[in-house]
Structure 1
Amino acid sequence: MLDDITELNENTTFVEEAKTIDEEDLYPFPTSEDEPTTKRFLGMTPAQLFVISIEFFFMVLIFGVFFMIVTERMTIPF
C-alpha cells in the first residue's frame, strides 16, 4: 500500500485502495470465532491438571515435613 509513494497509480484513490485490504490483514489476532469451544486452564487437559495438582500436593507435604523437622516440632523416630 505505501511501499513506493512515488509510483502512485492515479486511477485509484486511497479510499479505494483501503477497501481492497482483506479483513484478515486488519485483524491478525484470533477472534472469538477461531477459539475452540472447550476452554482449558493453562492449555492443559484434565488429566494433566490432575498430575500437576498431585505433584504440587506432594511438594507441599515434603516441604511441610522438612520445616517441622527443622523447627523441632517433629522428630525423626530413629
Structure 2
Amino acid sequence: MACALTPPGQRTVVDDSPEAIAAFLRPPPVHELPGVGARTAATLGEYGLHTVGDIVNVPQLTLQRPVGW
C-alpha cells in the first residue's frame, strides 16, 4: 500500500511503532487493500465496513460470512 502512494523516485517510511502502523493502515478505503475489488468493497460497504480500520475491528468469522475470507 505504501508503494502505491509513493511517487517514483521517492520513498514512504512508516515508523515501526504500533501507533504509526495503525495511523497509516486504518484510514484507507477497503478497495485499496490488495485483492479487494469493486464487488467485495460493495459487499463490505453494505455491512458498514468502509475503511481498513473498520475491518480490523471485526472478528474474522464475521468477515468470512459475507465475503468468504
| Fold equivalence (TM over 0.5) | no
Short-chain TM bin? under 0.3
Structure scoring higher RCO (CA < 8 A, sep ≥ 6) equals 2
TM-score (norm 2): 0.21
Rg comparison, structure with higher value: 1
